């Protein structure tokens, strides 16, 4: 893998890593940031769906784009206008998704034929169920930090990946 401009990947990785560290240092601010970003993204995606109506050729897709686009714009504006309510809603959604994913992983584990895969599915399912339950059991207090911590973990993971890719690309270039 020969990478041109590996330094830009390294800089992006370092910025992502730094952002993740800052998010861990202040998870409440990171939680509010994640909530507002989600709101703005919903508005942007909803607006794009509404604009796509003009290029759709089928009435069914136009109606679907109209309904989904309008719904996303309204949801996005609601999140931006009421960030604290949005944090509560998104945290509750994250907890429910973790519980559902954990349950599906356990179901898959018992249908897996490879015992090694089964063990990892059981562990991953148990972690998802545990995290979802911890969020719900501490709700609404958990809402103050959960989204920020998840954002921090994602930024740190992304940063480490980009740094590793850039250094591998640099070392293979020589």
- In the chain, where the domains are located: 6-31+83-173
pLDDT confidence of residue 102: 92
Give the pTM.
0.73
Low-confidence residues in the chain, pLDDT < 50? 1
Burial class (CB in 10 A: 0-12, 13-18, 19+), 174: exposed
Residue 95: partners with Cβ closer than 8 Å, 6 or more residues away: 131, 132, 133, 135, 136, 139, 142, 146
pLDDT confidence of residue 172: 63
pLDDT confidence of residue 112: 81
Task: Report the alpha-carbon distance of residue 27 to residue 147 in Å, rounded.
Answer: 8
Q: Are 47 and 76 in contact (CB under 8 A)?
A: no
Task: Report the alpha-carbon distance of residue 79 to residue 45 in Å, rounded.
Answer: 14
pLDDT confidence of residue 35: 93
3-state secondary structure of 131: helix
Compute the C-alpha angle 26/31/32, nearest 5°.
Answer: 105
pLDDT confidence of residue 70: 95
pLDDT confidence of residue 57: 82
């Amino acid at each position: 893998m020969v990478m041109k401009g590996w330094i830009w990947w390294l800089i992006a990785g370092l910025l992502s890593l730094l952002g993740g560290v800052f998010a861990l240092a202040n998870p409440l601010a990171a939680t509010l940031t994640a909530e507002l970003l989600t709101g703005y993204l919903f508005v942007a995606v909803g607006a794009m769906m509404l604009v796509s109506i003009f290029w759709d050729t089928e009435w069914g897709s136009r109606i679907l784009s109209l309904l989904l686009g309008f719904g996303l714009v309204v949801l996005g504006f609601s999140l931006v206008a009421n960030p604290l309510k949005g944090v509560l809603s998104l945290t509750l959604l994250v907890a429910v998704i973790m519980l559902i994913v954990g349950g599906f992983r356990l179901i898959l584990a018992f249908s897996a034929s490879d015992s090694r895969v089964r063990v990892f599915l059981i562990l991953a399912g148990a972690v998802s169920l545990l995290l979802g339950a911890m969020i719900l059991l501490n709700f609404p207090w958990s809402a103050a930090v959960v989204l920020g911590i998840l954002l921090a973990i994602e930024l740190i993971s992304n940063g480490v990946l980009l740094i590793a890719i850039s250094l591998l690309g640099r070392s293979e270039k020589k």
